[in-house]
Structure 1
Amino acid sequence: MISRGRTPFEIRLQTRIFITFFIVMTFFVVYAYFRLTKEVKDQFLQYALISRERSIADIVSHLESVYRQDRSWNLHSGQDIVRYAMRNGQVITLMNMNREVIWKMDKWAVGLGLTNNPRQRNRQRSMTEAVEDENYAVTITNNDLEYTEVERALLYDGRTIGYVLVGNYIHTSLNPEGLDARQQLLLKVSGTAFLGLFMATITAMGLARLFSGPLSNLTKAAKAMQSGYLVQNLQDRSGTVEIGELTRAFNYLSYSLNEQRALRKRLTSDISHELRTPLNALLALSEAYIDGVVPVTTESLQTFRHEIIRLASLVSELSKISDLEDDQLKIEKQEFFLGDVLDDLILVYESLSIKSSLQFSHDIDSHIKMYADKDRFKQAVINLLSNAIKYTPAGGEVILSAYQDINGVYIQVKDSGEGIPDDQKEHIFERFYRLEQSRNRNTGGAGLGLTLVKRIIDAHQWRVYVEDNTPCGSIFTIEIPHSNYNSSANHL
């Protein structure tokens, strides 16, 4: 039994595609955000370190020039550089050659000027007023600040005249404009990341709709066909090769099913007509015999027999439907010579041709070896010959030929009948397909003979096709490709 309901774990394809694309895009956006943020911070830190080294070099150069002027150190030596150092977040300690402190800057005061938290700034200011004379060490708690110290020797005429200890709050080696630039850049990176997430969401929704939309249309059309509306003609606007092929295949399926339904209806009407005619004739004859209106003679019994043969022929034709309904035609291959099959058929159809006032000829290479289902192959040739005789008018000709060349084996049935219009050749092997109604009413049949031929040939992986005969009629050819024939022969 086929289940038509959803399972508890099913989700819509559009939702699945959206989730997949969104997760992937979000991952790359988040990765790009953290990567860019780290890159920005690393670049600015590198710039800060370079700026710090330049600033330290300037401080050393300035203090050495002060010593050259004064020839000694005092409490005021070089203090004009303090304002420059505070602006750059630097703490300077000047020492003589014995490493005794001459003067130093307040580390806390410099750090206090750098903190971004006003409440912390007020709290630390009140603390420093209370403990200023006790040299109380205040810790700056700004997480963005990292304090380091670097010592440099001060030289005059090649000899050491003192030392300078320069403390730095690393990232503040940038000037205020540099800090603002870094902050603005980080904000832009964050804004770009949020914009990327938004665009990822929109893109995921668009892609989900792009890929699932055509499939949703196919699902709706399939449900419509399930309800009996077989005529469906979908248009593919996705621009995707696979979806385009699927849409075209679905449209062809819809067209084929609708055609098959029409052909089945026509077949039902034809069968009803063909059954009713001989049955009515038999009923009328039997009533005439019973009433004594028509005497029972050889001639009247021949008429009776003729109607029974018509019924038997129709039943035989309908029996082919069971073969066509099988999903796979059973093929039992064996080795035989082509003449073993065709020679028997020649005797039968020579007799039938004489009765139909036709000329029957043949040109067969009887020594061709075959590896196929002998009975099925014989059935296919019989159907082709029967069709040729049925649709060839009196005085016409039917030719059976079989030959072999370097490309393979060819079996051909030629007739000089009315032929097949070009626009109907591609349909001639379809189930229940027949040509003009009037012509088929006269010849009988359900339009299954050529379909069965096609199934038998396809089951052998051969090829069958129809061409025009010159000057009139048709040529049906069974082609056994050389590669297929050789692979079959290997099994002998």
Structure 2
Amino acid sequence: MKISINKKLLLSFISIILISLLITGITSTLMIDKRFNLYLLEEHKEKIENIKSMIHSAIKKNQVSPDFDKEGLTKYAVAENYIIKITDLNNNIIYTTGMYPHMGHQKNGHMMGPMMERMFKNMFQSYNEDIYPIIYDNKEIGKLTIGYFGTSNISKEAMSFKLTLYKSILISSFMAIIISALISILISRQLGIPIREITKASKAIKEGHLSIRTNIGTNIHEISELSSSINNLAHTLEKQEALRNRLTSDMAHEIRTPLTTIKSHIEAFMDGIWQPTPERLRDCYDEINRLHSLVENLEDINKLDKANYVLNKSYFRIDEELKRIVNSLIPQFNKKNIKLNLNSKVKTEVFMDRDKFKQIMYNLLSNAFKYSHENSIVNISCYTENEYLYIIVQDFGVGISKKDLPHIFEHLYRGDLSRTRSTGGSGIGLTITKNLVQAHGGTIEAKSDIVNGTVFSIKFLLKKIRTKVSDDAF
């Protein structure tokens, strides 16, 4: 049977507390009891020696008829709860303190009846007697019998102290259990409630409610990190879902237009309304090319999702490669009368994937071509500075809005609909470009505004692209 984390934590805490208190209580009781009994035994021995000393002192003063009362033996025995009997070698009683259960009389002749004996027997667990020889001048002249109750003649005060100590341990343990239970409830709630909220949010995300967020106020680092991760996951999924929906909508619109054009042309040919002239066939061919381009974009998206780029590195001169790329694109840029300017004084041989480098530059220059005005300029600069190689692509065309600029490298992101739709962008080219740059250990940034156009800056660490450091793949 599964139980909630609150109950699990509470039961665990209480079990640990009870076991700890039980072990502590038993250990403390045994240690205190052992030490206390040892103390009482030592004290009992000391008292026995005091009694012997009094007896020897009385005998020394008067061997024939010693006065034990004068030595304070009776008062001491009464004060310390001892029952003392002194006999001669013939077992005749010479002295007794009285109150002796096994005697029928006291020195002063008072009788101790059965009621008194039962009272003493009930008051204490056991009655004990120790017999010691009385030695004087190296001769045994009698016997000393000392009676007491318990193992070491524990007094009422000592017993009361011992019981009070045990009682304090019991009360302390009870209070510790209550306080610990309250703290356990508080801790279990601090852990349980946030985890339940996070679990609830994750279930909602699983069911497609991507707008949900957890708002958990906790000072527990791990739970705070978990909550933040769930929120970031929901935000990323929500954004990706929106991008995919937008891409699907855009692709449907882009595909519908050429299909409608081709269909209308073919229907007109079939109905004899139009003749299949070269111009009209050219229109159909252009629309088919447009569909082909859209399919290639979808293939690029699939490649990016699978992340199956493998770098095939080789040595080549970067300035010569840039010249070849620019020369190959001049005819295309001439269609809009856009001038391509290459400014490169770098004659560095690099160790990179030549085809992937071409793809990086073609993607950036293709963007520059799409969004540049006719009769404008696109500048390409290549230079080294502080152990870095920089490649700059600058156009003076339609800039990127501040709202869209932070997202242009994101997967499937497309900016203004009219802007991207007019150029046929799919929101994948810059993502591929960024990944290829990073695969070579570089970084790419973009600066743009609506008035002055866009600048893309690529930066490579020279020591990483000049030698065979590693064959990175992703």
Please identify, of 457-466 and 442-451, the stretch whose mean Cα deviation from structure 2 is larger. 457-466
Task: Confirm or deny: 8 A CA contact 2:134 2:140 kept in the other structure.
Answer: yes
Name 2:188's counterpart in structure 1: 208
Q: Give, in whole Å, the separation in 2 of the partners of 1:80 and 1:90.
A: 13
What corresponds to 2:30 in structure 1? 38
Give the aligned partner of residue 24 of structure 1.
16
- Structure 2 CA distance, aligned partners of 1:486 and 1:86? 106
Q: Judge conservation of contact 1:63–1:78 (CA < 8 Å) in 2.
A: no
Q: Are 2:420 and 1:428 equivalent residues in the alignment?
A: no
In structure 2, what is the equivalent of residue 275 of structure 1? 255
Look up the match of 1:239.
219
**Judging changes above 3 Å, is the alpha-carbon distance between structure 1 residues 233 and 48 closer, same or farther for their aligned structure 2 residues?**
same
Q: Distance in 1 between matches of 2:99 and 2:321?
A: 113
Name the aligned partner's letter for residue 352 of structure 1.
Q
Is contact 2:368-2:394 (8 Å) kept?
yes
Q: CA deviation at 1:195?
A: 3.3
> How far apart in 1 are the matches of 2:115 and 2:433?
101
Aligned to 1:465: 445
Give the Å deviation of 1:183: 0.3
Cα 1:35–1:302 change in 2 (3 A) is same
Change (3 A) 1:427 1:151: farther
Report the Cα distance in structure 2 between the residues aligned to 1:141 and 1:90, rounded to whole angstroms. Answer: 13
Query: 1:114 matched to which residue of 2?
Result: none
Equivalent of 1:337 in 316, 322, 342: 316
SS in 1 for 2:198: helix
Distance 1:53 1:466, change over 3 A: farther
Query: What displacement does 1:20 show?
Result: 4.0
| Aligned residue number for residue 442 of structure 1 | 422
User: Structure 1 residues 183, 361: CA separation in 2 closer, same or farther (over 3 Å shift)?
Assistant: same
Alignment of 1:115-194 (within 5 A): 142=125, 149=130, 166=146, 173-194=153-174
Change (3 A) 1:455 1:416: same
Q: Does 1:369 align with 2:350?
A: yes
Q: Which range is displaced more, 200-209 or 66-75?
A: 66-75
Say if 2:395 and 2:453, in contact at 8 Å, map to a contact too.
yes
The answer as to 2:84 corresponding to 1:92 is: yes
1:351 matches 2:343:
no
Q: 3-state DSSP class of the match of 2:404?
A: helix
Name the CA distance, whole Å, in 2 between partners of 1:194 and 1:483.
70
Paired AA for residue 254 in structure 2: E
| Equivalent position of 1:226 in the other structure | 206
Equivalent AA in structure 2 for residue 311 of structure 1:
L
Secondary structure, aligned partner of 1:489 = coil
Instruction: Report the CA distance shift for 1:32/1:59 in structure 2 as closer, same or farther (over 3 A).
Output: same
Matched AA of 2:316:
F
Question: Quick check: 446-455 or 456-465, which moved more?
Answer: 456-465
* TM-score, normalised via structure 2 length: 0.79
Q: Check conservation: 2:68, 2:74, Cα contact below 8 A.
A: no
Matches of 1:355 and 1:377 in 2, distance apart? 25
Call closer, same or farther: CA 1:293–1:68 in 2, change over 3 Å. Answer: same
Residues 399, 450 of structure 2: 8 Å contact kept: no
Which letter does structure 2 place at the counterpart of 1:382? Y
Report Cα offsets for 1:132-155 as digits up to 9, x if no partner.
Answer: xxxxxx9x994xx79685969888
Give aligned-pair identity as a percent.
26
1:392 aligns with 2:372: yes
SS in 2 for 1:256: helix
> Which residue identity does 1:30 align to in structure 2?
L
Q: 1:55 aligns with which of 30, 47, 68?
A: 47
Measured at CA, do residues 92 and 125 of structure 1 come closer, stay the same or move farther in structure 2, by a change above 3 Å?
closer
> Which of structures 1 and 2 has the larger relative contact order (alpha carbons within 8 angstroms, sep 6+)?
1
Contact 2:399 2:452 in 1 (8 A): yes
What amino acid is aligned across from residue 416 of structure 1 in structure 2?
Answer: F
Q: How far, CA to CA, are the matches of 1:488 and 1:422 in structure 2? A: 39
C-alpha distance in 2 between matches for 1:107 and 1:374: 116
TM-score (normalised: structure 1):
0.76
1:456 alignment counterpart: 436
Q: Is the 8 A contact 2:218 2:224 kept in 1?
A: yes
Does residue 249 (structure 1) correspond to residue 229 (structure 2)? The answer is yes
Q: Give the deviation of 1:251 after TM superposition.
A: 0.8
1:118 equivalent in structure 2 = none
Counterparts of 1:150 and 1:394, CA distance in 2 = 128
What secondary structure is seen at the aligned counterpart in 2 of 1:228?
coil
Instruction: Establish whether residue 322 from structure 1 lines up as the match of residue 302 from structure 2.
Output: yes
How far off is 1:435 after superposition? 1.1
Task: Label 1:329 to 1:98 Cα distance change in 2 as closer, same or farther (>3 A).
Answer: farther
The alignment of Structure 1 onto Structure 2 pairs a total of residues equal to 457
220-229 vs 476-485, greater mean Cα deviation: 476-485
Distance 2:235 2:376 in 1: 37
Of 356-365 and 76-85, more deviation after overlay is shown by: 76-85
CA distance in 1, matches of 2:333, 2:136: 129
Shift of 1:333: 3.4
Q: CA deviation at 1:250?
A: 0.9
Corresponding residue SS for 2:393: strand
Q: Deviations for 1:110-161, whole angstroms, at most 9, x for unmatched residues?
A: 9xxxxxxxxxxx99958x9xxxxxxxxx9x994xx796859698889x9999
- How far apart, CA to CA, are the structure 1 residues paired with 2:308 and 2:131? 93
RMSD: 4.3
Q: 1:147 to 1:239 in 2, by over 3 A?
A: farther
Determine helix, strand or coil for the equivalent of 1:380: helix
> Aligned AA for 1:38?
L
Contact 1:412 1:478 in 2 (8 A): yes
Structure 1 gap segments, 5+ residues each: 1-7, 111-121, 129-137
Note if 1:304 corresponds to 2:284.
Answer: yes
Q: Residue 471 and residue 279 in structure 1: after superposition, are their counterparts in 2 closer, same or farther (change >3 A)?
A: closer
Give 1:231's aligned amino acid: S
Q: Find the aligned partners of 2:19 and 2:391 in 1 and give their Cα distance.
A: 65
C-alpha change, 1:470 and 1:254, in structure 2 (3 Å) is: closer
